[in-house]
């Protein structure tokens, strides 16, 4: 991937022991992803320069461990992919899934497409547009640091098949956010909402996720919803 002229490459830290456990024989691919984040990810404004030293623990591993909640051979829609977190990290850890990266900004989708090509990830598909604009549905819908849960639930619901799983990566205040937004998120079409943790025994802190299940849509299917079905 070409980088902006005048931008010096950043040197990322070596992978911590947990990285080998998470990525196993795909660790070299994860290392290449971290290199891209530290270099063109920074020069394109997707990652802050101060984040380079903590790319593994704070970003890539924080996202990749969520793979434990994704069923085998699932179709995954990642909302607001940005720098490929969690989408590309999950696609590396789980080559069995089909990954759709949804991002409205052209600068970011261009970078995501180049990164997926550089990493050799044919199961990754990049879509430019807002969540409410793309015509997709998956078995799992993910997002990280995109919006508050009540808003995110509305954006993610049309992208989820009946029974699909929502995985919203959150911080330490996830319990409070879920308590505040539970009713609004349920009205958006989600049930069985709970806070779960990924990377237990591997990461400190662990990754906190709000998980939910897409309730069946009882409305008559018309227009785009009909085509999806």
pLDDT per residue as tens digits for the range 5-29 = 444 556 888 999 999 999 999 999 9
What pLDDT does residue 217 have? 74
Q: Give residue 127's pLDDT.
A: 97
Q: What is the pLDDT of residue 3?
A: 46
Structure confidence at residue 229 (pLDDT): 46
SS3 per residue for the chain: CCCCCCCCCCCCCCCCHHHHHHHHHHHHHHHHHHHHHHCHHHHCCCCCHHHHHHHHHHHHHHHHHHHHHCCCCCEEEEECCCCCCCHHHHHHHCCCCEEEEEECCHHHHHHHHHHHHHHCCCCEEEEECCCCCCCCCEEEEEEECCCCHHHHHHHHHHHEEEEEEEEEEECCCHHHHHHHHHHHHHHCCEEEEEEEEECCCCCCCCEEEEEEEECCCCCCCCHHHHHHC
Residues of the chain below pLDDT 70? 1-10, 218-229
Give the pLDDT score at 5.
Answer: 41
């Amino acid at each position: 991937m070409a980088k902006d002229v005048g931008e010096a490459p950043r040197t990322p830290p070596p992978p911590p022991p947990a990285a080998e456990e998470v990525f196993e024989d795909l660790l070299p691919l994860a290392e290449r992803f971290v290199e891209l984040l530290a270099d063109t990810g920074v020069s394109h404004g997707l990652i802050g320069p101060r984040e380079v030293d903590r790319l593994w623990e704070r970003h890539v591993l924080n996202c990749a461990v969520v793979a434990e909640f994704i069923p085998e051979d699932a179709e995954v829609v990642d909302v607001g992919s940005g720098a490929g977190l969690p989408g590309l990290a999950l696609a590396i850890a789980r080559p069995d899934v089909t990954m759709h990266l949804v991002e409205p900004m052209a600068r970011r989708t261009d970078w995501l497409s180049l990164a997926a090509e550089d990493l050799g990830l044919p199961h990754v598909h990049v879509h430019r547009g807002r969540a409410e604009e793309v015509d997709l549905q998956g078995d799992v819908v993910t997002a990280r640091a995109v919006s508050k849960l009540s808003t995110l639930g509305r954006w993610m619901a049309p992208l989820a098949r009946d029974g699909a799983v929502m995985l919203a990566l959150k911080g330490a205040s996830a319990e409070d956010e879920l308590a505040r937004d539970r009713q609004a998120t349920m009205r958006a079409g989600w049930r069985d909402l709970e806070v779960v943790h990924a990377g237990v025994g591997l990461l400190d802190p662990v990754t906190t996720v709000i998980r939910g299940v897409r309730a069946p849509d009882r409305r008559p299917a018309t227009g785009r919803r009909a085509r999806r079905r």
